[in-house]
Chain A
Amino acid sequence: MADAKVLEGQKWLNATYAGVSGYVKCPENGQTSWSTMNSLIMGLQHELGISPVVASFGATTMSKLEALKGITDGENQPNKNIPYIVRYGLFCKGYWGEAGDTFNADALESMKKNMGIWQEGQEGWNRMVQAKVFKALLTMDAYVVVAGGTDKIRGIQQWLNGLYWEKSAYSIGPCDGLYSRDVQKSLVIALQYEMGIASPNGNFGPGTQAALKNHTLTEGATGIMVRLFTAACVFNEPVPVGEYAERTTFTSTFDAAITRYVKLFQKFSYLSDSGKGDYDTWCQLLVSMGNPDRKVFGSDTRYVINADRATWLKNHDYQIVGRYLYSPDPNFEKEIKPGELEVILDAGLRFFPIMQVHGRDATEYTYTTGFQHALIAHEKATTFGIPRGSVIYFAVDYDATQDQMDYIVRYFNGVVAGLADRGKKYVHGVYGSRNVCINVTNKTYARYSFVSGMSWGFSGNLGFPLPANWSLNQIKEISGIEIGGTGGKIDLDNTVWRLREDGGDPGVSSLAAVASPAADFISYIDQLYAIAQDYKAANSTHRSASQLVMEFVRHEDYGGMNWGILIGPYDQDWVAYAKSKGHKVKEDFVDPSSGYEMGPEHLLATANGHLLFAQPTNAKSVNAGDIAGWAGDLMTFYANWRNDEQQYASGKAYCDAKLAKPGVSSSFSFKDLLEDADGYLIARACAAGTPINQIVREHYGNGGGHHTRFTQYFNKRFFTATDCKDQAYNALTMENETYNVARTALILATGAQSPTVLANLPGGFDKLQSFCQGFVDAIIARVGAES
C-alpha cells in the first residue's frame, strides 16, 4: 500500500539528487524499501561532500557526520537538506508529524524511545540526530514489535542499545522483537566489552572463546553477565519439552528458574545438564556449532567406509556415520559402494543416508530437480537394500538466505512428490543451516533435521535456534585422519547424534526388509478387533466390533465425562474385558508417509466421533463428530490466537506460523492434523461397513491411503475451499447446543474472546475470516504437497 509521505520523500530525493554523480533513483511508489533508504544515504553523502555517492553508509559517511556534532531541527542548521533527509528517513520508518521545512523532533524522540536510547532530562540531546542514530535511521530496521516478534526480545534489544550504543564497535540494532543475525552480533559485541576483549567485533573468535571459559555462571550469580547470559537464553527459546515449549526470563539474577531452563536447554542440545552457564552452554547459546571440541558419537564423510575405516570409527567411539547415496561423478569417492553398508553394520555401527547433487546456488533448487533427486535417491537406496521407512537427508549445502527460501521449499516439494511417486518407501529429512531446516520442516514436514552447525557464520545459522526436530548437528570437520592399514587418510565431520528416545533418528541398524513402519499398529488393531468380535458375540451390545476397538483405544485419554457428554460413554464392560485379555492402549506408531509418530488415542477418538455422527448433508454444516476432530482443535487453536493477539494481529499469519507445523509447539499440531484426517477417513470407511482392521491395514500398509490422506480428507469432508472456510466459520460461531458447550469449554473458559463477539466488533468479521482462511490454506497446502 502506497504511503503519501513516503512518496513525497521519494519524489523529493529524485528531484534533488537526479544529477548527482553515482546517485540511483528510488522507485516513486510510496513504499519503504532498501532502494529508498539507499537513495537517502546517497543524498546524505552528497550533502556531506562525498563524490561519487554510493549506496552504502560507510566509514567516510560516518566520520563526516560525526564532525557535524549532531543534526537539529533548528534554523541554525547550516545545511537545509540534511534535516529533510532526516524527515524522510523518519517518514520511511513510520514516524510522522508536521515538520514545516525540517524534521519533526517529537517524531525523532519517539523513535529514540523505541530504540531504547532516549535519555531522561536530556531534551536537547533527545531532539538531536547523532551520527549513529542517523545511520540506524537509514536502515530497514524496525523499532516496534513486528509479526512473530515478542515484547521480551524487544526489551532485550532496547536494553542492549541503551547500554552499548555509544561504544565504537556497536551499532544501534533493531528493536522488532525478533532474534536475528544483527541481534546475535550485538549480543556478542556486548559480551566482548564486558569480558574486556581488546577489539570487540562480534566474531566468535579464539579470544572470545578463551574469555568465556573464565565466565562460568552458577545459581546465585548476579550482574551484567547474567543479563547477557539470560538474553542469550531468551534468544534460544523456546526449548521443546515433549509437546510443550519451555521459556525463560531476561534477568540479572541467576535463580532456580534459570537453572531449570538451562538444564532443559542443555538436555535438548545434548550437553551435560549441569544447570550452569559453563563454557559449553555459552558456546551453544551463541553459535550453531557450540563447543566444536566436545565429545560426539556421530559422523559423516564422503569417504567410502571399508573394514579398517569402520573399525577405526568403532574404536574411536563413533556409533553412526552418514554416507552419500549418490555422486554425479562416479570417479569421485563419495557414493556408497556395493557391500559398504554391510561392512558398516558388521562393525557395530549404524548409518544414515544423505542425498546431495551439488546445489551450491539457489537456482539449482527447483521442483523438477527435487523430484528427480528423489527418484535417484529412491532407486539408489533400494539398490543398496536400505529398509522401508528410513529417512534420507536431502542436502542444501550452501548459505541459503531467507529470500531464497522459496526455491528451497519448492525443491523439497519436488522431493516429497518424487518419493510419493515411488510409493513413499523412504521419508525425507533435510540437511542445511538452521534456517533451512526450520523452513523445510515447517513447509514440507521433513521428519528430521541434519544441521550444518559447523558453518556458524552462515546467515542461516546466526540468529536461529536449533530446530526442534534436529537429529544430527555437524559441528567440526577433521581433515587428514590417518586410519592405517587399508584405510589411508580420510576427512570426517564430527556430528552430534540425538538418540531416538530423545526424539532423534535411530538411523539404519539393519538391512532386513520392513513390511511397513506402521506394522506394529496394524497388528495391534488386528488383535484388538479379533477380541472385540469375541466380546460382541458373547454379549448383547449394539456397538460394532470396530466401534468397540475405537472405544478401547480412546478410553484413557478421551474417555472422561467431557467426552461422554460430547459423543457418549464408552462400554466399560468391554474395556474391562479387553484388559483382562492383556490388552493395553498403544501409545504411538510411525506414520509411513511422514515418519512422524502418531497417537492412536486421538486418532480413534476422532474416528469414534465421526462414526457416531454421520456427516451433515449440507456442505457448509458441521456437527458433533467434527468437534471430536478438526473443529475441536480449531476452537482450542482459536483461543490460543486470541490470547497471543499482541504478537499476531492477523489470524492468517497465526495459522501460517503455528497451525500443523512440525516442531512448533501448538494446540493444533501437525500430529493433530494427521490424526484428524486419518480418524475421519477411518470412520467413513467403517460407516460404509469395512471392518476397522481392514481399513487400518489398507490405509497404513505399503502403497496405502496414507499417501493421499489430505486429498481424500479435503475432498470428502470439506469439498471446496469456500465450503471449508464456511465450515470453519460455522464451527466457531454456529448457535447449537453442542457447539455452545464446546466453545464455552475450549474458548471462553480460557479467557479468550468469543468468536461471535469478535465477529460483531468493527473489523472483527474480517479478522475471523482471515483466521478461517488460514485454516483453509493449511489444509490446501497439505493437499498440494500430495499432488
Chain B
Amino acid sequence: MFLFVFAALGLAILAGLMLRRSLRSRWYEQPIELIGAALAAGGFAVVVWGFGVFAGGLDVRETCELTHHTTYDQVWRERTGADGTSFFPLTNACNEHISLVPAWVNPTIAVLAAFTVSALAVALFRIGYAIFHRKELVSS
C-alpha cells in the first residue's frame, strides 16, 4: 500500500511540475504531460480503491458490531450484493442502513478513472496526430 501511495505521490509531483511548466503553454496539448497526469490520477484511483476494499477491515462482522455498534445482516448482504465481493462499484455494508465503504469512495474512483482514460485517449490521439502530420510534411 505504501508503495502505491509513494508511487502515486511521485507521479502527482511529477504531474504537478509538468503542469506548472505547462501553465504557460497549453499543457493538455502535450502528450507526455497528459500521460503523466493520467498516471497520477490512475495511481490515486488505485489507492482510493484499496482504501474502499479494506474499509471493513478483515472481519466485517466484528467491524460492524464493535466499531459501528450495529448488526451484521448476512442475508441482506447476500441478497443485495453488498458483501464486499464487487470489483466496482465497491459495496460492503453491515445492513440496510450502515455502509462500510465511505460515500466519497466510488465517485472519486469513477472521476479519477474517467480522467485517466480520457487523458490517455487524448494523449494517444495527439501522438497519432503528430505522427500523421509528420508523415504529411515528409511526403510533401
Contact = CB atoms under 8 A, between A and B. Distances in A.
A562 B53 contact: yes
Contacts of B126: none
Contact of B65 (A242, A563, A627, A750): A242
A562 B84 contact: yes
Nearest to B60: A557
Contact of A243 (B53, B62, B92): B62
Contact of A749 (B54, B66, B78): B54
B138 interface: no
Interface string B1-16: 1110000000000000
Contact of B60 (A560, A565, A737): A560
Contacts of A564: 85
Interface in B45-101: 50-51, 53-62, 65-67, 69, 71, 74, 77-78, 83-87, 90, 92
Contacts of A745: 1, 50, 54-55, 57-58
Given A557-B74, A559-B85, A667 B54 contact: no
Given A246-B69, A745-B57, A561 B62 contact: no
A474 interface: no
A512 to B, nearest CB: 33
Contacts of A621: none
Contacts of A690: none
Contacts of B84: 559-562
A565 B83 CA distance: 15
Contacts of A746: 54, 57-58
A637 to B, nearest CB: 11
Nearest to B68: A244
A109 B71 CA distance: 48
Contacts of B57: 562, 636, 745-746
B2 A744 contact: yes
Contact of B54 (A244, A558, A741): A741
Contacts of A740: 1-3
Given A744-B1, A746-B58, A243 B65 contact: yes
Contacts of B3: 737, 740
Contact of B87 (A243, A244, A561): A561
Contacts of A455: none
Most chain A CB inside 10 Å of its own CB: which residue of B55, B66, B71, B83: B66
Contacts of A558: 58-59
Interface centre among A244, A628, A749 (most CB of B within 10 A): A244
Contact of A566 (B58, B83, B92): B58
A227 to B, nearest CB: 25
B69 to A, nearest CB: 6
A244 B56 contact: no
A725 interface: no
Contact of B66 (A244, A562, A566, A632): A244
B65 A560 contact: no
A408 to B, nearest CB: 30
A623 interface: no
A628 B59 CA distance: 10
22 contacts: A556-B77, A557-B59, A557-B60, A560-B56, A560-B60, A560-B85, A560-B92, A561-B84, A561-B86, A562-B84, A632-B58, A632-B59, A665-B66, A666-B66, A737-B3, A741-B54, A742-B58, A744-B2, A745-B57, A746-B54, A746-B58, A750-B67
Given A558-B59, A560-B83, 20 more contacts: A243-B66, A244-B66, A246-B69, A556-B74, A557-B61, A557-B74, A561-B84, A562-B56, A562-B58, A628-B58, A636-B57, A740-B1, A740-B3, A741-B54, A744-B1, A744-B2, A744-B54, A745-B1, A745-B55, A750-B67
